[in-house]
Amino acid sequence: MLQEKKLDYAKAAGKILINKLKKNDQLSIVVFNRQTTVIQPLTSRIIKESLFQQIDSIIANGKTNISSGLESGHMQVESANIDGAKRVVILSDGMTNQGIINQDQIAAIASAYHERGTSTSTIGLGLECNETMMQLIAQRGGGSYHYVKDADGLPLIFDQELQLIKNTVTHRTNATINPYACVKDVSVFGIPTQNKQGEIRMDIGDLTSEQQRQILIKLTVDTSAAKREQYKESSQKCSRLDLGKFCIKFGLLQNSEEHKIEIPLYLLVADDEDTCSIINSDDNPIEPETIGQGNSEGRSHIQSIERVSQAVINLETNIAITQSLEEANRGNAISSQKILKDQIQRLKAIQLVVQQSSLRLTSAIALFLSKKNQVTSIVDPQQHSILRNTSHSINFELESQLFKIDETQDLLSQSQRNPELLNQIIKDAKSREHLDNVLVAGVDKIQQGPQPIIIDISSKILKAGFSYDKVPRLKLNINQSALNNQKWMENILQFIFNKLNVHPEQHSILLIEPLSNSEEIHTMMVQMMFIKFHVLALSIQNPGLLSLIATGISSGIYSGIVLEIGDGFITAMPALQMVNIIAIKKEIDGNELKKYPPSFLIEIIQQSMKQFDTRFHGELLENIIILGERTLIDGYVQQLKQELVQYAPAKTNINISIHSDQENLVWIGSVLFASFKDFKERCTLR
């Protein structure tokens, strides 16, 4: 996004917020670029016209000093005596390049002011937004993170933010863990902690009614040193092993006395595997025994272990990738490769356990994740639906992480030829590790309503994410033949929705299917989305049209012919101003087009164009896109253009472009398509 465009959105945001203020509200506006300027000191005497003029006078200078703006905003709030809720809202793309640029140090500023009673929320602007930075500031500042693609979503975001401030029910909210002597180590993922004389403290942000936080904690326990007592509430012969206490502390008003809820931490253990399996294979939802004790949202023991297992597998892989890249940056290539190979072996060993699909599966996974050694195979012929679904979900997670490591190995190979690439790869990996940690911690990310979800099954690499994601959040190797399997597709879609942490009935879906998809698979996908998952709306598109959109966004040209070179086939898809007709498919030997003369390709192009009136043929020939081809030489393209001239209308400027990186092109086109203002009109509604 251009600097001027982002500033226009920021100006619009300021004016929208001013118009929403009520009589007793107080407002201060701080501008931060090369330097920080308070254009409106904190006041309840707001003269709108004067403020609008000051906002319009702001100009961009290419600098962003978030740390200074954050400090100045909080100083404005602290300078006044305010009885109600106090909040600083940062509107930025997160691309700080002035003052403090370390995201942890900037977030520490928000954390310090939160402890003093003022929270910080953030609004991330545009597709280039540094979400890691903006989410981290909101998390440590006790506020919420919002995302907005353009100025249209700002009014709703400010409505949400003002509503959150009004409905906050806990202030100065934090949690502590007091482990007993048997706990040798405590690790908390995604939330910064402080250790004070053995007590582990973490800030979890202010909460509104019905709001949730999930906290992933790893305890390393010496069972021989733990206190055991018989657990009489279970029908199985087992013992209760006490680990410590978990405590939540909060104030119900800004400056009220502190309240606390104390929850005992314990495990149920038994001396034989069969009893452990029965305890951990309970199909019934885990209900709280006392007020304040955690609820599982209707999940069984198996499903809870599944959820934790997926988070741990993901975080472990991210850490391994970051460590491997850092070793490579230090010149330790052998050590770098070993870290990745060790993680691959670990993931495949877990995969082996999952494939057993036994009733003891959850116990085995929990044991494996707690150790670094191999787990012996466990075979049990009994199975049930929850377990099978758990097995599928964890297996998809493992495949996703293995794919992530494969990508890292490819990037490391590329960086040997281009050393400058390594620093960017390391930066991206650390950002991904940090963002996943923040997501595990359950920090709120609020958009202007549920955003469309993109699911791309058009190639061997399944990709999924939101319509504002620059790159897919999830990638997974798939076998295209598996698209025929309805049960498999249901499992993979359920995994995607779980991974994105969404309720599909609240979202529109953009599904990208292969150009060569059969009518039967197309119908099955439509029925599955609406009947099984009850999605809000569905648009099914093909990679050809989305590639046209991606290549035509700068010129506004959305007409042309897309040729996809697959393994054993060529498909030609013509589109006129985003209206596409049936694709033409021809079989070829292998996936190298250079084996065939240009006349072969011209025949396919002509067949595809016949579906449109001849007066549009020139417009189509002016934008021919070849996808997936890596072997063509310049001479071939030039010869093809020359031979096409005799079939083109007069004055047609034939243009042919080759894109070997089809995956990124289709994703970019998908993000753009889902962002069109008439996207909902292009969908089938529930």
Tokens of 389: 């679904």
What's at 6, amino acid-wise? K
190 and 271 inside one domain:
yes
320 and 285 inside one domain:
no
Q: What is the CATH number of the domain that holds 117?
A: 3.40.50.410
426 and 331 inside one domain:
yes
Q: What confidence score (pLDDT) does residue 211 get? A: 65
| Burial grade of 168 (CB within 10 A; 0-12, 13-18, 19 or more) | buried
pLDDT band at 310 (very low <50, low <70, confident <90, very high): confident
Distance CA 283, CA 303 (A): 9
Distance CA 296, CA 278 (A): 18
Total-model pTM = 0.62
Lowest mean pLDDT across 94-103, 413-422, 425-434: 425-434
683 forms beta bridges with: none
Q: What confidence score (pLDDT) does residue 338 get? A: 93
Distance CA 215, CA 224 (A): 27
Q: What confidence score (pLDDT) does residue 378 get? A: 36
Q: Give the mean model confidence (pLDDT) for residues 124-152.
A: 77
3-state helix, strand, coil in the chain (%, to 5): 45, 25, 30
Residue ranges making up the domain that contains 437:
303-446
Residue 484: CA count within 13 A, CB half-sphere? 5
Domain count, the chain: 4
Q: What is the pLDDT of residues 596-624, one digit of tens each?
A: 788 888 888 888 888 888 888 888 888 88
Contact 123, 94 (CB under 8 A): no
Lowest mean pLDDT across 208-217, 260-269, 272-281: 272-281
Report the chain's C-alpha Rg in angstroms. Answer: 28
Phi and psi based region of residue 292 (left: phi greater than 0; alpha: psi -120 to 50; beta: remaining): left
Inter-CA distances, 575 with 570, 578, 618, Å: 16, 6, 12
Distance CA 38, CA 429 (A): 37
237 and 320 inside one domain:
no
pLDDT band at 12 (very low <50, low <70, confident <90, very high): confident
629 and 681 inside one domain:
yes
47 and 178 inside one domain:
no
> Where a domain ends, among 135, 151, 167?
167
> Where a domain ends, among 296, 326, 344?
296
Residue 558 CA to its chain's centroid (Å): 29
Tokens of 159: 């409505």
Please enumerate, as own/partner, the contacts of 17-22 that have beta carbons within 8 Å and a separation of 24 or more: 17/89, 17/158, 18/46, 18/48, 18/51, 18/52, 19/48, 20/155, 20/158, 20/159, 20/162, 21/46
Flag whether pLDDT at 658 surpasses 90.
no
Q: What is the pLDDT of residues 39-79, one digit of tens each?
A: 888 887 777 888 888 888 887 777 889 999 999 999 988 88
264 and 326 inside one domain:
no
Higher pLDDT pick, 325 / 419: 325
Higher pLDDT pick, 126 / 137: 137
Q: Give the mean model confidence (pLDDT) for residues 288-299.
A: 45
Phi and psi based region of residue 501 (left: phi greater than 0; alpha: psi -120 to 50; beta: remaining): left
Flag whether pLDDT at 283 surpasses 50.
no
> Where a domain ends, among 421, 446, 471?
446
Q: What is the pLDDT of residues 421-470, one digit of tens each?
A: 676 666 666 655 555 554 444 444 444 457 899 999 888 888 998 887 77
pLDDT band at 512 (very low <50, low <70, confident <90, very high): very high
Q: What confidence score (pLDDT) does residue 293 get? A: 41
Q: What confidence score (pLDDT) does residue 215 get? A: 80
Distance CA 64, CA 5 (A): 15
500 and 639 inside one domain:
yes
510 and 581 inside one domain:
yes
**Ramachandran angles phi, psi of 287, nearest 5°:** -100, 145
Contact 392, 400 (CB under 8 A): no
Q: What confidence score (pLDDT) does residue 344 get? A: 92
114 and 219 inside one domain:
no
Flag whether pLDDT at 515 surpasses 50.
yes
Tokens of 601: 């390709």
Q: What confidence score (pLDDT) does residue 424 get? A: 65
Mean pLDDT of the chain: 77
What's at 541, amino acid-wise? Q
Flag whether pLDDT at 263 surpasses 60.
yes
- SS3 annotation, 63-112: CCCHHHHHHHHHHHHHCCCCCCCCEEEEEECCCCCCCCCCHHHHHHHHHH
658 and 522 inside one domain:
yes
What's at 545, amino acid-wise? L
Helices 420-440 & 301-329, crossing angle to 10 degrees? 160
Q: What confidence score (pLDDT) does residue 274 get? A: 65
pLDDT band at 359 (very low <50, low <70, confident <90, very high): very low
Higher pLDDT pick, 441 / 303: 303
Q: What is the pLDDT of residues 162-221, one digit of tens each?
A: 776 666 777 778 889 999 988 989 988 767 788 888 899 887 777 776 666 778 888 888
Q: What confidence score (pLDDT) does residue 379 get? A: 34
Q: What is the CATH number of the domain that holds 566?
A: 3.30.420.40
Higher pLDDT pick, 6 / 551: 551
Cβ-based neighbours of 236, under 8 Å, separated by 6 or more: 270, 275, 278, 279
**Ramachandran angles phi, psi of 143, nearest 5°:** -115, -150
Contact 663, 644 (CB under 8 A): no
22 and 92 inside one domain:
yes
* Helix (H), strand (E) counts: the chain: 19, 27
